[in-house]
Chain A
Amino acid sequence: MTELLPTTRRFRTMREAVPTVDQVMVEERAASFGKRSIKTSAKLAGLKMAVSMCDLTTLEGKDTPGKVAYLCRKAIQPIDPKYNVPSCAAVCVYPNMVRYARKFLGDNSPVNIAAVATGFPSGQYPLRTKLEEVRRTVADGADEIDMVIDRCAFLAGDHAKVFDEIAATKEACGPTHLKVILETGELVTYDNVRLASEIAMQAGGDFIKTSTGKVSPAATMPVTLVMLEAIRDYFFATGIRIGMKPAGGIRTSKQALAYLVMVKETLGDDWLNPEMFRFGASTLVNDVLMQIVKNVEGNYQGADYFSLS
């Protein structure tokens, strides 16, 4: 308790320095992006961009090297090359699957390997084991680490601990890209999301990410908007561009396009690329591919024309 007090006092100033968020207006603004009507050429370009931003994900206890092989192949070539669709940005797997993903993708793959680490999804583990997990996962060949923040510490008010863990994880990552999962479904309020974003960015995250996909609600438009606004203000304050990854619950092309509209109109062109924006999704890609083929061929193809991952 004696140790907590000074830290709490320090972070109280941070709580005050971080802007508050009005629920009604942020939800209204987020809904407005979905009203943009994306047609013809813009639709095709947007859908291809969405594929290139996908972290194709499998995060199951039942994952095997065989399943990861399917996933990797799908990520490299989502559909017949005649449609000119780019590869996905990354595959996203559990740490034990990283070495298999590396084997299937090879060393010079256009598709990165992202691994969830730090006691995903709950984060209720000792820091020492979390960091050991990160080091081993990096050593196995992960290009990106998706860590979870300690929601226990955050909700108990120990924001300093959240910060320290992220900073320590970043150090353990070395040059490996770090995405920080806030698990916004457990933080609940937009004010919490905004504060957690701020802590994650200051502590060394290269990306901030909404959710593990294991908690409902996962990514939503308003939550993502709050995080994009945090990224924008952080960019103006420091000159550093932080990336954004909404994950979980994005299943349709229409949703994906609405997210892209939101990025375009909140952060501008510099964030409209896979280096700065990702979708964490497992089923989104085939819906997007179905729309791409419809756009090219003029009619919808059945689901069996699209490969499983």
Chain B
Amino acid sequence: MKMKLKPVKLSAKRAVAPVGHPVVPLKERRLNFGNKWDYAPAPEDSKSYVIAPQHELFINGKFVAPASGKYFESINPATEQTLTTIAAANAEDVDKAVKSARRAYDKVWSKMPDRERGKYLYRIARIIQEKSRELAVLESMDGGKTIKESRDVDLPLVAAHFFYYAGWADKLKYAFPGKTPQPLGVAGQIIPWNFPLLMAAWKIAPALACGNTVVLKPAETTSLTAMRLAQIFQEAGLPEGVVNIVTGAGETGAALVNHPDIDKLAFTGSTEVGKRIAEAVAGTKKKLTLELGGKAANILFEDAPLDQAIEGVINGIYFNQGHVCCAGSRLFVQEGIYSTVIKKLRDRIQTLRVGNPLDKNTDIGAINSKPQLEKIRELVQSGVDEGAQLTQTACALPAKGYWYPPTFLTGVTHAHRVATEEIFGPVLSIMTFRTPEEAFERANNTPYGLSAGVWTDKGSKIFKMVSKLRAGVVWANTYNKFDPTSPFGGYKESGFGREGGLQGLSAYVRLT
């Protein structure tokens, strides 16, 4: 008997009707992300770690009270409860810190054999690894970021940066063949609140590896882990004054920027403040690197691996509540797949869990501060007022604390404020394009140039886009990948200088 086979059809119709599964009408075809199987709370233990009620300045290897006697409160943005009080350093304290760093540079650190400096950095890296759970919990309590992220991203990277630059300490001559690298002296470093410990590591590790000493100023909302790091420096036996930490707000930073005995300034933060620092430093001997804002384009081509691209878009904008300078905050979608992408994004954000940062299942934590929350609200409102359509998840937000649900805006054009201004929150602005040429023109149509993402299955298209995009980092078929070996930094108003990798060393050496 010869089998007669059914003819092959490529239509969406099935060859044989399904058994027992009714065909759901078009209008009712939606995924039901309900509460059939709810996850129980899974909080990380935070009670084992004691936070001192008051934190002093870290100058010359000791914790000292500020000259002004003034302290300010540091709160947990998820509960609005006061965690501790932090010393406010004034110009007098900053001067003490710089003098201590100068003394340490002249007498100890610049004279020490290279490999000995490396030993200290290795020791610091190991202690960070040992204490990483505690540091992750503190980071999440102080800044609002999820424990999942501080545990799995921030802390491993912090240790990795110290390990990586420890390795360079006695190999600097090989980093700059034919040249003699010399340290610069005292480095003033000002870091932001979005990745408090990680930014401290990015700044401190290369500076120390190259033989400089440091005065670090953390952001005023996130000083806690920097002070814990100071204790780790003590534990590691780091010579007094090699790293000094002065806490405080803008005035403390200004005192550091304007101090005459600083050789090198490194700043990560907003473009607005970065411009003021550049003005203040102009005409002085101070070397400067700036890592500033961004408004990165994530570009989705029709031939992209779509479901994975959606994950990249989600990670790009909602990672760390969108408090990421390289966040993929503008999504450019090729017109042919626009409706599919919107539909998939709408489904995907429903499964993002917003809430207690210390719960291990939380995907999106608290907004870092009240002013930041207000800024996000104001910008999103401007988008709506200017005619963009708003999509947000329906998730319930906690009553206390600062929260913003995962949000995206469609119908956005370059003329909208939400397409040009950095929102620094979980808000994605979506636009469309037709051709690769149009994609990079639109992506480049911003004063920023920190990062970009390209999603396509075609390798040649990736290379073409990478060569045309004016951005310091371009990720292809992935997003937000960081590694200490890879340089990071901006084009245009996203700053200058590179951090990380071999390139990160050159900001901290004088080549002769």
Contacts and interface: CB of A to CB of B under 8 A. Distances in A.
A39 B18 contact: no
Interface in B9-33: 10, 12-16, 18-21, 23-26, 29, 31-33
Nearest to A225: B307
A72 B225 CA distance: 58
Contact of B6 (A26, A37, A168): A168
B396 interface: no
A236 B29 contact: yes
Contacts of B381: none
B37 A260 contact: yes
B18 A240 contact: yes
Contacts of B309: 22, 25
Contacts of A241: 21, 24
B148 interface: yes
A240 B312 CA distance: 28
B42 A39 contact: yes
Given A25-B311, A37-B42, A240-B23, A49 B37 contact: yes
Interface string A167-189: 11011000111000000000000
Interface stretch (A93-101, A106-114, A264-272, A279-287): A264-272
Contacts of A127: 3
Given A25-B478, A238-B12, A240-B14, A19 B24 contact: no
A206 B15 CA distance: 12
Contacts of B31: 232, 267-268, 270
Contacts of B478: 24-25
Nearest to A29: B311
Contact of B40 (A41, A260, A275): A41
A134 to B, nearest CB: 12
Interface string B34-56: 11111111100000000000000
Given A35-B148, A42-B37, A20 B24 contact: no
A299 B251 CA distance: 58
Contacts of A265: 33, 351
Nearest to B26: A239
B334 interface: no
A216 interface: no
A232 to B, nearest CB: 7
Contacts of A260: 37
Contacts of B360: 35-37
B317 to A, nearest CB: 16
Interface string A48-72: 0100000000000000000000000
A238 B29 CA distance: 9
B308 interface: yes
Interface in B365-394: none
A63 B455 CA distance: 50
B406 to A, nearest CB: 14
A37 B42 CA distance: 6
Interface residues of B, number: 49
A168 B361 contact: no
A204 B16 contact: yes
Contacts of A49: 37
A19 B305 contact: yes
B461 to A, nearest CB: 13
Contacts of B1: 128
Contact of A21 (B34, B40, B307): B307
Contact of A167 (B16, B23, B37, B39): B16
B359 to A, nearest CB: 8
Interface in A224-253: 229, 232, 235-242
A117 to B, nearest CB: 16
A84 to B, nearest CB: 17
B37 A264 contact: yes
A10 B7 CA distance: 12
B15 A204 contact: yes
A101 B20 CA distance: 23
A40 interface: yes
A46 interface: yes
Nearest to B31: A268
Given A25-B477, A29-B308, A229-B307, A38 B39 contact: yes
B402 to A, nearest CB: 24
B8 A163 contact: yes
Interface string B449-462: 00000000100000
Contacts of B483: none
Interface string B422-452: 0000000000000000000000000000000
B130 interface: no
Contacts of A177: 19-20
Contact of A272 (B6, B25, B37, B307): B37
- State the 10 A-B residue pairs at the shortest beta-carbon distance, nearest first: A25-B308, A37-B42, A22-B305, A269-B36, A37-B360, A239-B24, A204-B16, A268-B31, A42-B40, A22-B308
Interface of A: 7, 10, 13-14, 17, 19-22, 24-26, 28-29, 35-43, 45-46, 49, 127-128, 131, 160, 163-164, 167-168, 170-171, 175-177, 201-204, 206, 229, 232, 235-242, 260, 264-265, 267-270, 272, 275
Given A49-B37, A239-B25, 19 more contacts: A20-B457, A21-B308, A28-B311, A35-B360, A37-B361, A38-B39, A38-B42, A42-B39, A46-B37, A168-B5, A202-B14, A203-B16, A204-B14, A206-B20, A232-B31, A236-B343, A240-B21, A264-B33, A268-B33
14 contacts: A22-B309, A26-B308, A39-B42, A167-B15, A168-B3, A170-B15, A204-B18, A239-B26, A240-B21, A240-B23, A260-B37, A268-B33, A269-B37, A270-B31
